[in-house]
Amino acid sequence: MKPLRHDVSFVPLAVAATGIGVFIGMDAVMKGLVAFYPVLMAVFLRYVAGTPIVWAVFLRRPQRLGARSIVANGLRGGLIVVVASSFFFAVTILPLADVIAVSFLAPFFIAILGRTMLKEPLPPRVLVGLGIGFIGVLVILHGQFVLAQRENAPLGFAAALLSAVTYALSNVLVRRQSMHDSVEAMVMLQTTAAAIVLIPFGIAFWQPVELSHIFLFALCGLLGTGGQLMMAWALSHAPASRLAVLEYTSFLWAALFGWLAFDEIPTVSTIAGAAIIIGACLVALKPPGTSARGRASARGTIAAGRDPGAEAKASPETSDGADR
């Protein structure tokens, strides 16, 4: 069993932020595709397209897989099916930006689950950042929903909320499973499992695919796999609670892709909410130790390959086996 890593540098944060942006790019492409095909068929093809890619990545550095790894990652693959299907069902009812806004609840679930399942610390600055970020979400939601009257909107919100909860659970499970498996193995197993689970649904809802759309499904497979690899790597190197607030940056990515792909111009409330969200990120992601002495000590422990306070976190007496 590998110990959980606690990288205090900004590298895992940068990788996670990029991974989120890649995911939003895939979401934008998939939103266009589900307008032509049933949701479950589209999700099935997205994972079918991604399976050869994850196997190619895995075989570059193969890992011997035991029954525990196959079962754990396979079950998480089934969870990923729920995440993707509920999300893309929601975007058939609500605008992409609306669903992304609802998904901002995920950091709260990630931080709570990271604490309860992994016994990770929940520093006060993370709670403050999450609270500030939620205010930004409310600003955005007010601007988008105050005059909105949509049929089936409650169903769309329920699907978006289900996606946020299961996404948070999946992220925390990735971090716990990273003690046993490599990033490549986790992504390969979950993607393959998702494709297998979706086979009967893909067959049941199958309809002919246009040639131009085959390329777009392949692109979704590539983007989805890249995003999974980046997020899995980041979650295996840094606490889930520290990465949680980065989920708020997904709205910034959504605004960018919405403008580029759909000519959607962010509103004043969107810009104001985004500014608040950025402030939340700066608060929550502030490195521990602000004094000169603290910074020097932190630099020393990082250079030595250790996390400040790692000894306390790694103590067997205070660990339940899910955290070091």
> For position 235, what pLDDT does the model report?
76
Q: What is the pLDDT of residue 310?
A: 35
Higher pLDDT, 218 or 130: 218
By CB atoms closer than 10 A (0-12, 13-18, 19+), residue 126 is: buried
Which pLDDT belongs to residue 316? 29
Secondary structure of 204-249 as H, E, C letters:
HCCCCCCHHHHHHHHHHHHHHHHHHHHHHHHHHHCCHHHHHHHHHH
pLDDT of residue 201: 95
pLDDT band at 156 (very low <50, low <70, confident <90, very high): confident
Structure tokens at 51: 């399976």
For residues 46 and 131, which has the higher predicted lDDT (pLDDT)?
46
Q: Which pLDDT band, with edges at 50, 70 and 90, does 170 fall under?
A: confident
pTM: 0.70
Summarize pLDDT for 50-74 with one digit per residue, the tens: 999 999 989 988 888 888 888 888 8
Asked if pLDDT for residue 221 goes beyond 80, the answer is yes
Instruction: Say which residue the tokens 């580029």 belong to.
Output: 260
Instruction: Please give the average per-residue pLDDT across 170-195, as a whole number.
Output: 82
Res 306 pLDDT > 60: no
For the chain, what percent of residues have pLDDT higher than 90?
23
pLDDT > 60? residue 320: no
Tell me the pLDDT tens digit for each residue of 247-290: 777 877 887 887 888 776 777 777 787 788 778 777 775 655 54
CA neighbours closer than 13 Å in the CB half-sphere of residue 7: 16
* Residue 217, pLDDT above cutoff 50: yes
Q: Quick one: pLDDT at residue 161?
A: 85
Mean pLDDT of 36-43: 95
How far is 233 from 229, CA to CA, in rounded Å? 6
Give the Cα separation of 250 and 17 in Å (integer): 8
CA distances from 161 to 90, 105, 171 (A): 9, 8, 15
Whether 14 has a pLDDT exceeding 80, the answer reads yes
